[in-house]
Chain A
């Protein structure tokens, strides 16, 4: 069984999301910050009349904010919400073999591990597949603070 993934870089690592789950990939968008929101919420974006929540993967993974060039955005619809993920750079669309899949080793820091569905072993590189459902849960906490 094969799977097609859109890849991108966050820090030194390569990540992937199923191609079909991605709505679009765009350059930098104007982000309106949301005061009081946790730091991985970069703010809100006007995406052609729809409002998307901008999430910073670096912030989510507890990595230092990116200092270099403009971030790219990967827009997907998770759980009915439009979410734009800020990533360092966009990679290729790759086709991977299900056979090369395994779950992330326990030594990966827990704050990153919980967002990773598993690892594809590719030639010369490891590709972490993002788990959009945990991301969705992060945006819709079941325990409402109210």
Chain B
């Protein structure tokens, strides 16, 4: 095999370092230095060089260093090194250097070679010695008796433990590769070398049992390495077991615990290992022949620079550098400001350079702490492998995005939570092969771990294709464990039910298994992730699997935040906690802050949002004193809607200043105990801002999660009842007519109010500039053929509608209210532009407008332009829907996209439209609640007909409460959507069609 130039350069640099270490040790011995430590460094030098040389296929160097090492081992118990030996070894070092430079050497090793403690790597069978040189004085080596455990300095011991840890990790990784069939020479060699060095160091430190294990592993791999035999499953099992034992022993060594009980297992394991190795099948093909190591490769490498490729630096040093760098950035800003004001051109150009260089340093500094997430993710290979054996399941692990980088400290922090999630997926998620087969899935379950950057955060998704979460079971369990009351259980939404598994003391496993199910777990996962400023999100589809999504900030140190002012101080609110910002004009009539029993509240989209005034919290009377209602009179009030775990609240602040990436600095415990601050930061102008602790503030302000949750629960329940009746939400608007007019809520994107002065004209078209783009205005009065409004208005109420990705504004005379009604919308008898139909309530007739039609009439070209590329043309959709309003609507949306739509009023009609032999349609979009044959029955009969079974089915219903999704999936729907906005529907239809085509 060949090595890249870089490999060779790295090897040579390392080799020189190792020889230097050995030389230094020898010289210190010569000057009467401490034998033990010097011996260790000499040994390590030779030993590691031997391993590395073996890897690089330099047999001469390998043989040479091996001889030196063997010689050295004999001196180990002597406790001293006679002068002639020192000279011999020094010459040996020089010879090794010559070899490294590609020169042949002549060397005589004058001591016998029968020391069992340093049993040579069996692969080394030849020693190349060209000619004899004067022999050094012969020294009799004492019998290699097992030495009494020498006093090993703690630091050295720690290093040994660390090194073993690294080796174990590498071995595990390589074993995995090998098991997956990657028997490349590279891989096997690396594996072999690692167990070999483990053996060497273990013996060196007199951990003989550990050494025996290493030796056993090494021997068992010998024939595999030679390429003559294939590794067997039994061998892998034994190797993994050895590795696990090694890990335990090393752990005990680290903790200074006697390992006697573990040691007892060693001989047994070693014997089994050997047996497994002996039973290996031989490979027919000829072993890979390796190219002879040549002096030319070594010579080539000589050209590359020397020196270490990497060094270890304490994290605290990096932290200090980061701090100083932050300060440097501040100074740079000041210099830039000063230079910009001055006339001195030279100063100006220097400051520009300073700016660039500082920016670069900052960028590089940030990189020093970043590590690829793969360092953690690849460990899961092992976890999944072990678990799948233990649980008798067939599981493969897919890792995508292992190169995604994030801060090292965060990497450490997510390691355990992630491991837990993966274990959970193995245990609870993936079914046994038998069950999977029954369900018609592949025997092999898949767990995918995907990580990627998104919006300045790192997302890690762990998804399995297992059985998914069972909502009823979750609810029962939660009630059983007293986490919620049965009444609450009935009112929980889907998301809330899934979130139950994050509740403390919750465990889903029907039986407590070895792997998981002890009730500690997901709550800890969530706490840990939230502690580092991340979030956990769970989605699940019964029968299809569960996905857990972690969002983690890129680094602990830097957090995106909103800077707000309150009183005289500036405060930072972490963006992860921020849901939205609301600006309330108290002088305006419609929506403003109201005082409810002495506390301010705000109606946010119909729900009551409790408000907390930051000024009052910071004055220390956040909880109970009466607010001053006058304060909110006729003023603009800024509300930051914050998310405190289970609920939201609004924080009233004086001013919103800026958003910034802030560097979090810790606070003393005294300040933390105030509850409202989580840290402090230094802003760009050098001033200090306190970081608000959102959860703490909610506690200080007496907001309780339970209380709020009950309220939302009740609302949910009410909503559900309403939804069950297939109700529709309308927005009531005023136009220049006596009858009230309405728009289906599903169309409405936003409600806005523009000043008349903001309206501009492009030709005849009225426009306003809106969110960085232009919003064309359409007058409802005009479209409906009504006279223009007579009211002289300072502001124009506008309903913003999104159609085909473009925003339009429909001007109305006023926005009145929302209406939820069960009355069916009747299609107008006479087709009128912009009118869909009427709602007939007991006491009035409401005109229902069709905003899409209005837009189409006003902009006949634009509305269709966007979808030209759609591949929908020619695809036939069967739309089954009993409500005329939805039927017409959905049909229109689909047709606009280019689909051919056939409608049916119920399931029976739908079935009659489909030929028994051919579906005649590419996709079925169906309501659930229908007369005669409902959606579930329809799906079941479609699926039971082999000719129709393959057709994709999409359920569209206003009823999506618990149980329905599962029932839908069981009946055979591919996807289940709530009655919805057109975009989501189109996307779902397209997706299903595409999936079906594939």
Contact = CB atoms under 8 A, between A and B. Distances in A.
A37, A41, A144, most chain B CB atoms within 10 A: A37
B330 A33 contact: no
Interface in A24-62: 30, 32-38, 41, 43-46, 48-51, 53
B347 interface: no
Given A44-B690, A49-B324, A36 B674 contact: yes
A43 B671 CA distance: 10
Interface of chain B: mostly helix, strand, loop or mixed: mixed
Contacts of B687: 30, 32, 46
Interface string A134-146: 0000111100111
Given A33-B568, A36-B674, A140-B668, 9 more contacts: A34-B690, A36-B618, A37-B670, A49-B327, A49-B330, A51-B682, A139-B669, A140-B669, A146-B675
Nearest to B670: A139
Given A41-B671, A45-B688, A146-B673, A51 B568 contact: no
B688 A140 contact: no
A81 interface: yes
A144 B671 CA distance: 11
A139 B670 CA distance: 5
Contacts of B668: 53, 81, 139-140
B665 A50 contact: yes
A128 B777 CA distance: 78
Interface string B796-824: 00000000000000000000000000000
A83 B192 CA distance: 55
B675 A37 contact: no
Given A45-B688, A49-B324, A49-B330, A141 B569 contact: no
Given A32-B688, A35-B569, A51 B665 contact: yes
A46 B619 CA distance: 24
A49 B669 contact: no
B863 to A, nearest CB: 54
Contacts of B618: 35-36
Nearest to B615: A35
11 contacts: A35-B619, A36-B620, A36-B676, A49-B323, A49-B682, A50-B665, A138-B670, A139-B668, A139-B670, A141-B669, A146-B675
A51 B688 contact: yes
Nearest to B696: A146
Contacts of B667: 51, 53
A144 B673 contact: yes
Interface in A4-39: 30, 32-38
Contacts of A48: 327
Interface in B662-705: 665, 667-671, 673-677, 680, 682, 686-690
Interface string B22-38: 00000000000000000
Contacts of A139: 668-670
A141 B682 contact: no
B850 to A, nearest CB: 54
A32 B326 contact: no
A35, A36, A81, A139, most chain B CB atoms within 10 A: A35
Interface in B845-865: none
A32 B670 contact: no
A140 B324 contact: no
A50 B320 CA distance: 10
A123 to B, nearest CB: 38
Nearest to B327: A49
Given A32-B687, A36-B620, A50 B670 contact: no
Interface residues of A, number: 26
A78 B736 CA distance: 73
A38 B668 CA distance: 13
Q: 8 nearest interchain CB pairs?
A: A49-B327, A35-B618, A140-B669, A32-B688, A139-B668, A44-B688, A51-B665, A145-B673
Nearest to A53: B668
A138 B673 CA distance: 12
Given A49-B682, A146-B675, A141 B330 contact: no
Contact of B682 (A34, A37, A46, A138): A46
A46 B688 contact: yes
Interface of B: 323-324, 326-327, 330, 567-569, 618-620, 665, 667-671, 673-677, 680, 682, 686-690
A140 B620 CA distance: 21
B601 to A, nearest CB: 24
Given A32-B687, A51-B682, A37 B669 contact: no
Contacts of A141: 669-670, 673
Contacts of A30: 687
A34 B672 CA distance: 11
Contacts of B675: 145-146
A35 B667 CA distance: 14
B620, B668, B675, B680, most chain A CB atoms within 10 A: B668
B327 A37 contact: no
A87 to B, nearest CB: 19
Contacts of A36: 618, 620, 674, 676
A143 to B, nearest CB: 9
A33 B670 contact: no
A33 B669 CA distance: 16
Contacts of B568: 33
B222 to A, nearest CB: 53
Contacts of A33: 568-569
A32 B569 contact: yes
Contacts of A138: 670
Contacts of B569: 32-33, 35
Contact of A44 (B327, B330, B669, B680): B680
A43 to B, nearest CB: 8
Contacts of B323: 49-50
A49 B680 contact: no
Contact of A37 (B324, B674, B688, B689): B674
Nearest to B665: A51
A120 B206 CA distance: 56
A37 B671 contact: yes
Nearest to B699: A146
A120 B675 CA distance: 40
A53 B688 CA distance: 11
Contacts of A51: 665, 667, 680, 682, 688
Nearest to B681: A51
A138 B670 CA distance: 7
A81 B687 CA distance: 19
A46 B323 CA distance: 12
B328 to A, nearest CB: 8
A33 B665 CA distance: 16
B682 A41 contact: no
A53 B671 CA distance: 9
A56 to B, nearest CB: 14
B535 to A, nearest CB: 22
B669 A144 contact: yes
Contacts of B669: 139-141, 144
A50 B323 CA distance: 7
A41 to B, nearest CB: 7
A45 B636 CA distance: 32
Contacts of A37: 670-671, 674
Contacts of A50: 323, 665
A53 to B, nearest CB: 5
Contacts of A32: 569, 687-690
Nearest to B328: A49
A37 B665 CA distance: 18
A115 to B, nearest CB: 15
A48 B682 CA distance: 10
Contacts of A45: 688
B568, B680, B687, B688, most chain A CB atoms within 10 A: B688
A46 B327 CA distance: 10
Contacts of A145: 673, 675
A44 B687 CA distance: 10
A113 B607 CA distance: 56
B623 to A, nearest CB: 13
